[in-house]
Amino acid sequence: MIQVTPEQLGVFVATLAVAILSPGPGVIAVSQGAFALGRRRALTYGWGLAIGASFWCLFALLGLTALFRIAPWTLVLMKVVGGLYLIWIGTKLWRHAADPLPDPADAQGMTMLSGLTLNLSNPKPALFYSAVLLSIFPAALGIADKGAIYAVALSVELFFYTALASLMALPFLRRRYFAAKFWIDRAAGLAIAALGLSLVLRH
């Protein structure tokens, strides 16, 4: 029986959406791939990124319960470290909102495997997912709860990368994307930093 509430899942979706929408390397690569190569190539790469990111969510879910049962103090440590990390990410997004976008990723090799490899080679999503899961859901989660949370995470990742590739393949949206970068970064920075602060204060 699933014990997590729809409200908790809604907050999880909203938080994950904010993180995905903040322009990072994966978002930039998918966007530029759509501009240069079209929707199909960008979709393939984006789905690889989505699956890779969801794996980090799965790893976080599988490891949290056992770790906290063996050593309860690690729950407090994870909340503080995760909260400080989220505050750092939010501050960084805010401070660099006006910076120009980096050079686009090389369009060649934009396959599902390369997208999957990119996200699996970066362990930061594991800390992000751990911090977000701890701030929203109880530490003791059943198998059904974990399955539901992972299914939501995978669905959100796939949805947003699919939407991004599809939208950015439309030429007239390119100018709007670049124009909105400053405000997307500022909004994402505030939201992520606020979540991190709540983690630190509630430990």
pLDDT, mean of residues 56-62: 86
pTM (whole model) above 0.85: no
Instruction: Flag whether pLDDT at 154 surpasses 90.
Output: yes
Residue type, 35: F
**Mean model confidence pLDDT for the chain:** 79
Tell me the Ramachandran region of residue 142: left when phi exceeds 0, alpha when psi lies from -120 to 50, beta otherwise.
beta
54 neighbors 153 (Cβ within 8 angstroms): yes
**Distance (Å, whole) CA 71 – CA 79:** 14
Residue 183 domain-assigned?
A: yes
Mean pLDDT throughout 163-176?
79
DSSP label at residue 137: S
Higher pLDDT, 127 or 3: 3
Domain count, the chain: 1
Q: 197: domain range?
A: 6-201
Please state, in angstroms and as integers, the Cα–Cα distance from residue 87 to each residue in 65, 82, 120, 192, following that order. 24, 9, 23, 7
Residue with tokens 């989505």: 50
Is 1 among the domain residues?
Answer: no
In a domain, 176, yes or no: yes
Asked if residue 177 is part of any domain, the answer here is: yes
Mean predicted confidence (pLDDT) in 118-124 = 67
* 133 vs 203, residue with greater confidence: 133
Question: DSSP string spanning 10-71?
Answer: HHHHHHHHHHHHS--HHHHHHHHHHHHH-HHHHHHHHHHHHHHHHHHHHHHHHHHHHHHHH-
pLDDT for the residue 163: 92
Is residue 53 scored above 80 in pLDDT?
yes
Is 90 inside any structural domain?
Answer: yes
How many Å apart are CA 202 and CA 200, to the nearest integer? 6
Q: Examine the pLDDT at 36 and tell me if it is beyond 90.
A: no
Using alpha carbons only, give the angle 92, 97, 101 rounded to the nearest 5 degrees.
Answer: 105
Predicted confidence band of residue 150 (pLDDT cuts 50, 70, 90): very high
Phi, psi of 191 (to 5 degrees): -65, -45
Contact between 181 and 72 under an 8 Å Cβ cutoff? The reply is no
Q: Quick one: pLDDT at residue 45?
A: 87
Of 13-17, 22-26, 94-98, 104-108, which gets the smallest average pLDDT? 104-108
What is the pLDDT, as a whole number, of residue 77? 80
Q: How far apart are CA 46 and CA 49, in angstroms?
A: 5
Report the Cα 191 to chain-centroid distance in Å.
Answer: 13
